[in-house]
Amino acid sequence: MKRIIRYPGSTLFILTCTFVLLSFYYVNSIKGEKQFEDNLRVLFADPLFVFTYSVLLLGLFFRMVKLFIKGGFKKSGSILMIAGFIIFALGVYLSLKTRTILDIRAREGDNTPIGIVSSIKSDMPDRIIVIGKERPPLPSKAEAEIKINGQKHKIRIYPFSIIRGSVVFISGVNISPSVEVIHDKERIVSDFLMLYPPRDVRINQHGSPYTLFISIYPERTYKKGRLDVREYNITQPAFTISLKEGNRVLIEEVLKQRTTISKN
């Protein structure tokens, strides 16, 4: 029995599995700006990550048995700590795999699956200044009021709200212009976007040869030493819009208000 659990329960084995899992997470996290939970959800869809995760838990279980064989109840503190971690790790996996998640994009007045959004407040500034390649922080405070069957409920970024047995919270606040693109009487895009400077959004609807690029246009640009500085007006934003069919540019304009543009 000791030989069976010697290697899976060894410190080197557990540290190796932990290093591999952390490497998985690091590589996945640098691919995009995802939250911790989103990264985990993507990783748990990877069979290789799930296999390594399972092997680590198995190694921890063998480690726990090994401690019990060596020290019996004298090692109860270490055994309980490992058992607690195994239960926690299994809970994380089961929670992410069994929960139902509904991601809702909404603005004031929208009728969403959970209710009508009557108001939204946040600490988004009126102007955003971007220096060099830095990324300004997203608003950290936001509150929305939702009407459900005549009753008002408030949801925030934190703390979470419990509505009808579901955890509801605001995951982020962005600038959300409505966009509708019609080309040759074909509606290519009809949506509202989630924008925040300096990043842009690319939309390519399934089966469509058209790709729409849209970003917030800086109201003012200047130099600060060697760095480029861009200043964005958030209360009255302008937008850069580019519509492409493959590599061919169909539309490329700067919109400073509600505008209809066309290009033959």
The full 3-state SS of the chain, as one line of letters, equals CHHHHHCCCCHHHHHHHHHHHHHHHHHHHCCCCCCHHHHHHHHCCCHHHHHHHHHHHHHHHHHHHHHHHHHHHHHHHHHHHHHHHHHHHHHHHHHHHHCCCCCCCCCCCCEECCEEEEEEEECCCCEEEEECCCCCCCCCCEEEEEEECCEEEEEECCCCEEECCEEECCCCCCECCEEEEEECCEEEEEEECCECCCCEEEECCCCCCEEEEEEEECCEEEEECCEEEEEEECCCCEEEEEEEECCEEEEEEEECCCCCCCCC
- Cβ–Cβ under 8 Å, residues 182 and 199: no
Q: How confident is the model at residue 181 (pLDDT cuts 50, 70, 90)?
A: low
Rounded distance, CA 45 to CA 48, Å?
A: 9
> Do 8 and 94 fall into the same domain?
yes
Q: Assess if residue 251 is contained within a domain.
A: yes
Question: Which range among 71-75, 120-124, 181-185, 245-249 shows the weakest confidence by mean pLDDT?
Answer: 181-185
State residue 7's pLDDT score. Answer: 61
Give the pLDDT mean for 60-82: 79
Stated pTM of the model: 0.53
Question: Which range among 5-9, 83-87, 240-244 shows the weakest confidence by mean pLDDT?
Answer: 5-9
> Do 216 and 156 fall into the same domain?
no
Q: Assess if residue 262 is contained within a domain.
A: no
> Do 194 and 240 fall into the same domain?
yes
> Do 162 and 219 fall into the same domain?
no
Tokens standing for residue 152: 């008002």
Beta strand pairing call for 115-122 and 127-131:
unpaired
Boundary of a domain, candidates 146, 168, 190: 168
> Do 32 and 119 fall into the same domain?
no
Boundary of a domain, candidates 98, 122, 143: 98
Boundary of a domain, candidates 45, 71, 98: 98
> Do 86 and 6 fall into the same domain?
yes
Q: Please name the residue that has the structure tokens 């246009």.
A: 217
Tokens standing for residue 48: 């290789």
Mean pLDDT (the chain, rounded): 77
Q: Assess if residue 39 is contained within a domain.
A: yes
> Do 212 and 245 fall into the same domain?
yes
> Do 26 and 53 fall into the same domain?
yes
Q: Is the confidence at residue 188, as pLDDT, over 60? A: no
> Do 164 and 182 fall into the same domain?
no
Ramachandran area for residue 184 (φ above 0: left; ψ -120 to 50: alpha; else beta): left
Q: Assess if residue 68 is contained within a domain.
A: yes
Question: Which range among 32-36, 94-98, 120-124, 130-134 shows the weakest confidence by mean pLDDT?
Answer: 32-36
State residue 4's pLDDT score. Answer: 45
- How far lies 27's CA from each of 45, 96, 137, in Å? 15, 20, 22
Range of the domain at 241: 178-255
> Do 12 and 94 fall into the same domain?
yes
Q: Is the confidence at residue 13, as pLDDT, over 70? A: yes
Q: How confident is the model at residue 2 (pLDDT cuts 50, 70, 90)?
A: very low
* Number of domains observed in the structure of the chain: 3
Note the pLDDT tens digit of each residue in 200-246.
777 776 667 778 788 888 888 888 888 889 898 888 888 888 888 87
Question: Which range among 108-112, 132-136, 174-178 shows the weakest confidence by mean pLDDT?
Answer: 174-178
Give the pLDDT mean for 81-95: 84
Rounded distance, CA 38 to CA 34, Å?
A: 6
Q: Assess if residue 203 is contained within a domain.
A: yes
Percent of all residues in the chain with a pLDDT value above 70, rounded to a whole number: 82
Note the pLDDT tens digit of each residue in 154-167.
888 877 888 777 77
Q: Please name the residue that has the structure tokens 């693109």.
A: 181
> Do 89 and 8 fall into the same domain?
yes
> Do 23 and 93 fall into the same domain?
yes
